[in-house]
């Protein structure tokens, strides 16, 4: 796995461009990684609903839950599916819209200096995340850190770390120790 810093794309990822991004502030570059989780509808895995959500193609009438989120404009840089497939929505040098109102490294506007990685999963699912996801996430983090030396190992956070009380993901079933031991 290699990140081409000129394009901001990972060579082994399936590229599925999202319109939900903008440019980072001048001089800003990734300093941290934010790990999230998502499943659509909640608790269901394997479909293309997450991809359609991040590319503004999710129809509200398809499921009752979608009526509340279909018009949101959000994204992440990456999604790691349950089988380990890596999908990239936003180039790493661009600002994906994943963190919302949050504070990280004692600063607001976290999207400006972070890379957002979504895992297909649910924060309350005791089956947690798959071996394939942990392997792919570890490899992705290593590639990002090689390309962006300001991303220290200590600068990898849960969404719940940067938005406590507002976001619970990736939740208690995500095994941080397992991630770093791989």
Which member of 31, 118, 120, 136 is catalytic? 118
Contact call for residues 162 and 110 (beta carbons, < 8 A): yes
Helix (H) or strand (E) holding 87: strand 86-88
Active site residue 118: yes
Q: Please, is 91 exposed, middle or buried when counting C-beta atoms within 10 Å of its C-beta (0-12, 13-18, 19+)?
A: buried
110-120 pLDDT tens trace? 999 999 999 99
**Domain-wise residue ranges, the chain:** 3-181
The one-digit pLDDT tens for each residue of the chain (182 residues) are: 999 999 999 999 999 999 999 999 999 999 999 999 999 999 999 999 999 999 999 999 999 999 999 999 999 999 999 999 999 999 999 999 999 999 999 999 999 999 999 999 999 999 989 999 999 999 999 999 999 999 999 999 999 999 998 999 999 999 999 998 75
Give φ, ψ of 154 to 5 degrees: -75, -5
Question: For residues 62 and 12, what is the distance between their CA atoms, to the nearest angstrom?
Answer: 31
> Cα 164–166–169 angle (5° rounding)?
75
Q: How far is CA 88 from CA 35, 68, 72, 167, 176, in A?
A: 14, 24, 19, 22, 22
93-134 pLDDT tens trace? 999 999 999 999 999 999 999 999 999 999 999 998 999 999
pTM for this prediction: 0.97
Q: Specify the CATH class of 3-181 in words.
A: alpha beta
């Amino acid at each position: 796995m290699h990140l081409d810093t000129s394009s901001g794309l990972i060579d082994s990822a399936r590229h599925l461009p999202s319109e939900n991004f903008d440019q980072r502030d001048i001089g800003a570059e990734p300093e941290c990684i934010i790990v999230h989780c998502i499943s659509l509808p909640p608790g269901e895995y394997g479909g293309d609903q997450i991809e359609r959500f991040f590319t503004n193609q999710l129809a509200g009438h398809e499921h009752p839950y979608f009526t509340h989120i279909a018009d949101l404009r959000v994204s992440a840089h990456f999604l790691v599916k349950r089988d380990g497939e890596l999908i990239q929505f936003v180039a790493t040098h661009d600002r994906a819209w994943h963190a919302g109102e949050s504070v990280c490294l004692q600063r607001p506007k976290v999207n400006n200096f972070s890379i957002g990685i979504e895992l297909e999963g649910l924060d309350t699912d005791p089956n947690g995340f798959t071996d394939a996801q942990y392997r792919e996430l570890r490899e992705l983090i290593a590639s990002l850190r090689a390309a962006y030396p300001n991303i220290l190992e200590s600068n990898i956070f849960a969404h719940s770390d940067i938005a406590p009380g507002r976001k619970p993901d990736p939740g208690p079933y995500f095994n941080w120790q397992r991630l770093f031991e791989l």
